[in-house]
Amino acid sequence: MGQGSSSVSEEPGRRRTIRDVAKAAGVSIATASNALNGMGRTNAETRERVRRIADEIGFRPNALARSLLTRRSHSIGIITNDTYGRLTLPMSAGVSEALVDHGVSAFLCATNNDPRLAQLHLEALLDKQVDGIIFTATRLDLTPPVDLTRLPIPVVYAFAIGPETAPTFIPDDAQGARLAVRHLQERGYRRILHITGQEDYLAARLRAEAYRDLAGEQAEVMFGAWSEEWGHEAVRRLISSGRPRPEAIFCGSDEIARGVIDSLRDHGLKVPEDVAVVGFDNWQVVAAQTRPPLTTVDMELKELGRRAGLAMLDLTRGLPVAPGITRLPCSLVTRRSCGLA
């Protein structure tokens, strides 16, 4: 009843517990807990008082204690093989965006594809009772460096293809490729060439296939490395082959596109007047800096991460989530490499 007992602020270093709140409000711990979380079970007046006091003394519930009881840690793990950041950071920013409002935080584990490291990280995550794990990689068809199929918690795959039973979110590479090719065709470009990366990458095959479907008879795919250098080399071969040159080139990555554009210029060919070029990735540092700036396909990685985060949220709440692959649409960012908008 007495409220003045300022014995609350003894031991200034210690964090306030619900005990402190209860004492200061002159109620029991249970009532304090109810007032802070429960709905309706407490007298409105009491509830207000408890909440006000909790606020005043700066009470914040210990999530560890709560989790121990509720068996939900409100944290998840993101396991990635990416150590470079281009894909993983936008993705996990998207994941966090979906989770942070629900008080869920994400442990980021960079494995560098090392099984030992991956195992270590996984054990730490499991011990910390994460509610789920999101696996993400630098290529769709990468096998996780550690077995994720027998875990007691849900696993979601993002930019990586998991087993059929697990929700998997990947960019719709075929749709992205169609976006690019159609964009070129709509502007009147007919003979379109596709210069892309390694054929053993699923993404490369998916894009090439979609391209072939649209490009007609003259469809021609040049597989190579995912590098600027390959862009140069491919153009060099093209020119020296003496064949009629394509009206447009759809590139499998912005880096390749950059090589292509530079090489085209070296050969006295103007982009887009002589040859139009489209890229794939919308990797700012590359796409915005080509001359002219590159029209390219954006995989919407942040949105991809957000969707993966949302799925994880549902999963941890016991809600049903469709297993299997969900392909998320890519968008086209138009700059100047296929003529003016």
Partner DNA sequence: TTGAAAGCGCTAACAT
Partner DNA sequence: ATGTTAGCGCTTTCAA
Binding segment for a second copy among 104-112, 236-244, 271-279, 314-322 (CB under 8 A)? 104-112
- Cβ distance 296 to 154 under 8 Å? no
How far from the centroid of its chain's Cα atoms is residue 103's Cα? Answer: 19
Kindly state whether residue 61 participates in binding DNA, applying the rule CB under 7 A.
yes
- The one segment of 15-23, 173-181, 247-255, 307-315 that binds DNA by CB under 7 A: 15-23
With 0-12 / 13-18 / 19 or more C-beta atoms within 10 angstroms meaning exposed / middle / buried, residue 217 is: exposed
Part of the chain binding a second copy (CB under 8 A), chosen from 31-39, 118-126, 172-180, 270-278: 118-126
User: Does 268 contact a second copy by CB under 8 A?
Assistant: no
Is residue 8 part of the contact set for a second copy (CB under 8 A)?
no
Any bridge partners for residue 157, and if so which?
135, 168
Q: Pick from 207, 195, 272: which is nearest to 236 by CA?
A: 195
Residue 27, interface with a second copy (CB under 8 A)?
Answer: no
C-alpha closest to that of 306 among 162, 158, 173 = 158
**Stretch of 2-10, 105-113, 178-186, 200-208 lying at the interface with a second copy (CB under 8 A):** 105-113
Contact of 77 with 96, CB cutoff 8 Å: no
**Would you count residue 237 as binding DNA (CB under 7 A)?**
no
Q: 10 Å Cβ neighbour count for 285?
A: 9
Q: Is 156 in the site for a second copy (CB under 8 A)?
A: no
β-sheet bridge partners, residue 328: 171
Per CB under 8 A, residues contacting a second copy are: 13, 15, 60-65, 67-68, 73-75, 77-78, 82-90, 92-93, 96, 100-101, 103-110, 112, 117, 120-121, 123-129, 152, 227-229, 255, 258-259, 283-286, 289
